[in-house]
């Protein structure tokens, strides 16, 4: 019985407490009747955040641009050209005497060392003539020696009065004639040796056989045109074509770097040696010759050549792309980016040499400056910008 009374009292206390909390503390009774001020404010802010007007509001950003980072380096203005490698000297080789071709030692395109025998005629006749004259010389020299002894003996006889002057003169004449016979035979030997030499075609220098128009067993004469032709390769030249708009830029003596496909990373340096007086009818370009040393024989006639003619060269120069500049009458300006404020600022500059793509800056910029190279027509001093790319020139 007592236990039931306590249970009833406890339930009543719980009911009274819940009612008091609902009325005084803003519990579930107030939520039904109306929301609290704080709740209304939070709800309003949430609704504003989700409102279409706020969702459509644009985010303010600077003008997107590309920039060029200023640095010092070698400034070159190069004129690219194309052409081919050619031999500086081409020689026609022909026999100076008539004869039958006995041997041809090289094929067309072969490399030939200086003084090597390229071809040879039959030499038996020339060699026999040399041998005959050498034997004749020995006989003449023996006769000369005997007559010299005879002259000496007759001179002694003449001195003691045993013979007269006329007899001595006869013997001296015989000795002089013998001496003349020796000298004549020596000349005949040299002539025969020269004929033997003419039966050989020898390379005048290191060269390449470019033409071969004779074969073994063929009869040739000194009048055979173009028996053989060689191209010397110790020195070669690149013949390149310059387009009409650039012909006024070319001068004798300009440094040129030539590249060939066989050695793509190896530049061959030479000088402009000759400028033709007229343009080619076929290519409508001006032929220009660039002479090149070729001691290692890397360059071969006929190779395709790419040449960069150096129009201007200067070390330690600040240069920027031409597209970054604005020219106004006698002044030039660029837009330098202030990285602290992300804005473009006008900067007057003094220029020097100008190439097709780059301009030398004499005054107005320093290393590390960022110069705008895109959308420059939309920039003014103070324009907010956003850098999307930084370019650096490879020197």
**pLDDT value for 22:** 61
Residues 289 and 237 sit within 8 Å (Cβ to Cβ): yes
Which has the closest alpha carbon to 172: 156, 142, 150? 150
Whether 59 is in a domain gets the answer: no
Whether 54 is in a domain gets the answer: no
Name the pTM for this structure. Answer: 0.62
Q: Coil, strand, or helix at residue 38?
A: helix
Do 303 and 319 have their domain in common?
no
Do 220 and 100 have their domain in common?
yes
Whether 101 is in a domain gets the answer: yes
Angstrom distance (rounded) from CA 298 to CA 208: 13
Whats the size of the chain, residue-wise?
Answer: 395
**pLDDT value for 306:** 96
Flag whether pLDDT at 205 surpasses 90: no
Whether 58 is in a domain gets the answer: no
Whether 239 is in a domain gets the answer: yes
Do 309 and 319 have their domain in common?
no
Q: Tell me the pLDDT tens digit for each residue of 209-259.
A: 988 988 899 888 887 666 888 998 889 999 999 999 999 999 999 999 999
Domains in the chain: how many in total? 5
| Over residues 3-16, mean pLDDT | 65
Do 234 and 310 have their domain in common?
yes
Do 220 and 111 have their domain in common?
yes
| Over residues 62-66, mean pLDDT | 91
% of residues, the chain, pLDDT over 70: 84
Whether 55 is in a domain gets the answer: no
**pLDDT value for 225:** 64
CATH number for the domain spanning 273: value is: 2.40.30.170
Tell me which H or E stretch contains 55.
Answer: helix 52-55
157: Cβ contacts below 8 Å, ≥ 6 apart:
163, 168
Do 194 and 235 have their domain in common?
no
Flag whether pLDDT at 288 surpasses 60: yes
6: Cβ contacts below 8 Å, ≥ 6 apart:
none
Q: Tell me the pLDDT tens digit for each residue of 23-37.
A: 555 544 444 444 444
Residues 137 and 178 sit within 8 Å (Cβ to Cβ): no
CATH number for the domain spanning 221: value is: 2.40.50.100
Q: Coil, strand, or helix at residue 265?
A: strand
Do 303 and 323 have their domain in common?
no
174, 209, 226 - which closes a domain:
226
> What is the average pLDDT value for the chain, to the nearest integer?
85
pLDDT band at 41 (very low <50, low <70, confident <90, very high): very low
CB atoms within 10 A of CB 22: 15
Do 187 and 209 have their domain in common?
no
CATH number for the domain spanning 174: value is: 1.10.287.470
**pLDDT value for 53:** 46
CB atoms within 10 A of CB 206: 18
Q: Tell me the pLDDT tens digit for each residue of 296-309.
A: 889 998 899 999 99
pLDDT band at 18 (very low <50, low <70, confident <90, very high): low
Q: What is the domain extent for residue 162?
A: 123-198
Do 319 and 356 have their domain in common?
yes
pLDDT band at 21 (very low <50, low <70, confident <90, very high): low
**pLDDT value for 54:** 44
Do 357 and 385 have their domain in common?
yes
Do 194 and 167 have their domain in common?
yes
Whether 17 is in a domain gets the answer: yes
Angstrom distance (rounded) from CA 194 to CA 187: 10
Flag whether pLDDT at 48 surpasses 50: no
Q: Tell me the pLDDT tens digit for each residue of 72-121.
A: 999 999 999 999 999 888 888 888 888 999 999 999 889 899 999 999 99
Do 186 and 140 have their domain in common?
yes
Whether 267 is in a domain gets the answer: yes
């Amino acid at each position: 019985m007592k236990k039931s009374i306590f249970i009833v009292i406890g339930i009543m206390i719980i009911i009274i407490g819940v009612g008091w909390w609902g009325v005084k503390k803003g519990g579930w009774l107030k939520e039904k009747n109306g929301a609290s001020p704080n709740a209304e404010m939070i709800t309003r802010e949430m609704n504003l955040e989700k409102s279409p007007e706020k969702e459509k509001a644009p985010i303010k950003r600077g003008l997107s641009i590309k920039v060029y980072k200023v640095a010092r380096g070698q400034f070159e203005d190069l004129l690219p050209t194309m052409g081919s490698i050619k031999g500086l000297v081409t020689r026609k080789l022909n026999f100076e005497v008539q004869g039958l071709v006995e041997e041809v030692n090289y094929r067309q395109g072969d490399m030939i060392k200086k003084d090597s025998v390229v071809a040879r005629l039959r030499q038996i006749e020339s060699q026999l003539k040399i041998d005959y004259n050498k034997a004749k010389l020995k006989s003449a020299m023996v006769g000369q020696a005997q007559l010299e002894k005879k002259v000496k003996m007759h001179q002694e006889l003449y001195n003691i009065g045993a013979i007269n002057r006329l007899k001595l003169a006869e013997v001296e004449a015989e000795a002089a004639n013998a001496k003349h016979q020796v000298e004549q035979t020596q000349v005949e030997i040299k002539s025969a040796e020269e004929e033997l030499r003419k039966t050989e075609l020898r390379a005048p220098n290191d060269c390449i056989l470019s033409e071969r128009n004779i074969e073994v067993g063929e009869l040739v004469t000194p009048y055979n045109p173009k028996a053989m032709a060689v191209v010397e390769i110790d020195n070669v030249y690149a013949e390149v074509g310059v387009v009409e708009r650039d012909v006024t830029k070319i001068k004798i003596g300009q440094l040129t770097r030539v590249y060939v496909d066989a050695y793509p990373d190896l530049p061959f340096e030479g000088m402009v040696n000759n400028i033709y007086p007229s343009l080619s009818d076929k290519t409508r370009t001006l032929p220009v010759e660039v002479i090149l040393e070729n001691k290692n024989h890397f360059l071969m006639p006929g190779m395709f050549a790419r040449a960069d003619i150096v129009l201007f060269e200067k070390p330690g120069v600040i240069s920027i792309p031409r597209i970054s500049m604005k020219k106004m009458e006698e002044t030039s300006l660029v837009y330098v980016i202030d990285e602290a404020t992300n804005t473009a600022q006008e900067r007057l500059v003094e220029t020097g040499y100008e190439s097709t793509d780059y301009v030398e800056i004499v005054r107005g910029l320093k290393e590390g400056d960022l110069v705008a190279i895109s959308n420059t027509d939309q920039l003014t001093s103070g324009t907010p910008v956003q850098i999307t790319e930084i370019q650096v020139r490879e020197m």
